[in-house]
Structure 1
Amino acid sequence: MLGLEYFSFEAKWSPVFLAFMLLVTAGYFLLTGPLSSMFQGSKPVSAGRKVLFVSGMLAMYMAHGGPVDLLGHTMFSFHMVSMALSYLMATPLLILGIPVWMWRAIERKNPFKKLGFLTRPILASVVFNGLFSFYHIPVIHDFVMLNFTVHRIYYVILFISSFTMWWAIIQPIPEKDKSSGLLKMGYIFLNMVLLTPACALIIFAPEPLYATYSDPNTWAKAMGYCVPGDTSYLLEQFGGPAFFGYLAPEIDQRVGGITMKFFQEIIFASMLAYVFFHWYKRENKEDDPIPTEPPTSKLNQA
């Protein structure tokens, strides 16, 4: 399916990265379970929160180690699915999946407190969307895809910037949450707007922008990130990325831009609903009248 049958188990499933992700997940369950007493104020973690964390880890694995990662090197549309999974879906799921008492412990021992200004909403939004847009400038994208050390470093930086962007929206530590619901909703709209130019550039480009997905030689070199060993045989066996693509390169590129925009709209719309619900709930709680006399006193008087 989609050419996956032509690649080895190692290329499709990245067993080393899978083992790392399973190890991190096992550590999470140990720290939130048998070892939770190590943390001040620890409480049992709900099944829902655990599901959020595991879903975040699964999304991150699929984006950077599973078949989606491999397909993202043969089709631009899958590359955009990978980006959406890792930076728009996995990050908020992981933040929400970690319990508040663990975040408080991390906050107390955080050696990077002086860098807290990076989580300021507007700055975090500009940095993440700027890095994302910069990465998709054709010459930059092809350079990153062909230089594997730079590739890994850039993806880590993108993850950190997406974390600071989502942290400003979610802010899982209640006493640190100083922004009103209206401000957060405005911030979400800002993120939706800032990513639009990059998506528009990709969607409305009249020709393929990225050599990684249109030039066979560049594609074969870029495949070295997923396929171990010499990748020159890929040219002899398949001829280029067109062998795997069921869409012409320019159509695949447009589908990729639309896919990213679609994912962004759905995820941020869901986050708008989440923020509005919690803002509405908090506002109504603050507006509830405080009874001057307990109900039991009135019953006793009667």
Structure 2
Amino acid sequence: MLGLEYFSFADKWSPLFLAFMLLVTAGYFLLTGPLSSRFEGSAPVSAGRKTLFVGGMLTFYLAQGGPIELLGHTMFSFHMVSMAMSYLMAVPLLILGIPVWMWRAFDKVNPFKKLGFLSRPIVAAVLFNGLFSFYHIPVIHDFVMLNFWVHRLYYLILFIASLLMWWAIIKPIPEKDQSSGLMKMGYIFLNMVLLTPACGLIIFSSEPMYATYSDPVVWAKAMGYCVAGDTTALLSQFGGPEFFGYLEPAIDQRVGGIIMKFFQEIIFASMLAYVFFHWYKRENQEDDPLPGEIPPGKLNQA
């Protein structure tokens, strides 16, 4: 399916990365279970919160170590699916899956407090969307895809920037949440707007922009990150990325841009609706009279 049958189990499932993700997940269950008593103010963690964390880990693994990551090296559309899953889906699930008392404990020993300005809503929004857009400049994208350690470092920076961006929206430590509902809604809308130019350029480009998905030699070299052995053999075996593509490179590129924008709109629109609902509910509760109190509009009648 989609050419996956031509690759080995290790190529498709990245066992070392899987082992790392399982180790992190095991550490989470130890800290929220047997070792939770070592944290001040700790409390039992609900099954729902644990499910969110595991869901975030699974989503990130599939996007960065599973078949989707491999397909992301053969088709641009799957590259965008991987990016959306990694930074728009997995990160908020991980933040929500970590209990408040654990976030408070981390905040006390946070070695990056001097860089706290990076978590300010506008700064975080510009940082993440700027890094994401910069990465998808054709020359930059192809350079990152062809240099292993640059690739790993850039993806780590993107993950941190995504964490800062979502932190400003979710605010997992209640006492540090100084943003009103209207401010959060404006911030979410800002994120929706900032990514539009990059997606627009990709969607409306009439020519393939990325050599990684159109030049067989460049593609074969980039495949070295997820396929073991001599990747030049891929050229004689498959000829190039077109072998795996169900769409022409230019169309696949447009589909990728549409997929990214679709994911972003759906996820942020859902978050916008969630924030609006809770803001509206809280505002109405503040306006409701206390039991036995006469509503302001009826003072004259009393």
Q: Shorter-chain-normalised TM-score: which range? A: over 0.9
Query: Any idea what SS the aligned residue of 2:278 has?
Result: helix
For 1:281 and 1:160, locate their aligned partners in 2 and report how far apart those are by CA, in whole Å. Answer: 32
Query: Letter of the aligned partner of 1:216 in structure 2?
Result: P
For 2:108 and 2:278, locate their aligned partners in 1 and report how far apart those are by CA, in whole Å. Answer: 26
Query: Letter of the aligned partner of 1:263 in structure 2?
Result: F
Question: Are 2:80 and 1:80 equivalent residues in the alignment?
Answer: yes
Counterpart position of 2:114: 114
For 2:190 and 2:291, locate their aligned partners in 1 and report how far apart those are by CA, in whole Å. Answer: 41
Task: Give the deviation of 1:274 after TM superposition.
Answer: 1.9
Query: Any idea what SS the aligned residue of 1:59 has?
Result: helix
For 1:59 and 1:74, locate their aligned partners in 2 and report how far apart those are by CA, in whole Å. Answer: 20
Question: Are 2:8 and 1:8 equivalent residues in the alignment?
Answer: yes
Task: Give the deviation of 1:273 after TM superposition.
Answer: 1.8
Task: Give the deviation of 1:288 after TM superposition.
Answer: 3.8
Query: Letter of the aligned partner of 2:45 in structure 1?
Result: V
For 2:287 and 2:45, locate their aligned partners in 1 and report how far apart those are by CA, in whole Å. Answer: 30
Question: Are 2:36 and 1:25 equivalent residues in the alignment?
Answer: no
Task: Give the deviation of 1:170 after TM superposition.
Answer: 0.5
Counterpart position of 1:193: 193
Task: Give the deviation of 1:35 after TM superposition.
Answer: 1.0
Counterpart position of 2:268: 268
Query: Any idea what SS the aligned residue of 1:87 has?
Result: helix
Question: Are 2:168 and 1:168 equivalent residues in the alignment?
Answer: yes
Query: Letter of the aligned partner of 2:152 in structure 1?
Result: R
Counterpart position of 1:54: 54
Task: Give the deviation of 1:221 after TM superposition.
Answer: 0.2
Task: Give the deviation of 1:275 after TM superposition.
Answer: 1.3
Counterpart position of 2:299: none
For 1:177 and 1:100, locate their aligned partners in 2 and report how far apart those are by CA, in whole Å. Answer: 12
Q: Deviation per CA, 1:49-76, whole angstroms, max 9, x where unpaired? A: 1111111001100111000000000000
Segment drifting more, 270-279 vs 145-154: 270-279
Task: Give the deviation of 1:283 after TM superposition.
Answer: 2.4
Question: Are 2:201 and 1:210 equivalent residues in the alignment?
Answer: no
Query: Any idea what SS the aligned residue of 1:227 has?
Result: coil
Task: Give the deviation of 1:33 after TM superposition.
Answer: 1.1
Query: Any idea what SS the aligned residue of 2:69 has?
Result: helix
Task: Give the deviation of 1:277 after TM superposition.
Answer: 2.5
Give RMSD over aligned pairs. Answer: 1.1
Query: Letter of the aligned partner of 2:289 in structure 1?
Result: P
For 1:278 and 1:98, locate their aligned partners in 2 and report how far apart those are by CA, in whole Å. Answer: 21
Counterpart position of 1:141: 141
Aligned residues: 293
For 1:98 and 1:277, locate their aligned partners in 2 and report how far apart those are by CA, in whole Å. Answer: 23
Q: State percent identity of aligned pairs.
A: 83
Counterpart position of 2:153: 153
Question: Are 2:245 and 1:240 equivalent residues in the alignment?
Answer: no
Q: Deviation per CA, 1:93-132, whole angstroms, max 9, x where unpaired? A: 1001101011011111111111111000001000100000
Query: Any idea what SS the aligned residue of 1:245 has?
Result: coil
Task: Give the deviation of 1:292 after TM superposition.
Answer: 6.4
For 2:55 and 2:276, locate their aligned partners in 1 and report how far apart those are by CA, in whole Å. Answer: 23
For 1:92 and 1:277, locate their aligned partners in 2 and report how far apart those are by CA, in whole Å. Answer: 19
Query: Letter of the aligned partner of 1:259 in structure 2?
Result: I
For 2:24 and 2:273, locate their aligned partners in 1 and report how far apart those are by CA, in whole Å. Answer: 30
Query: Letter of the aligned partner of 1:136 in structure 2?
Result: H
Query: Any idea what SS the aligned residue of 1:229 has?
Result: coil
Counterpart position of 1:98: 98
- Where in structure 1 do 4 or more consecutive aligned residues deviate above 4 Å? none
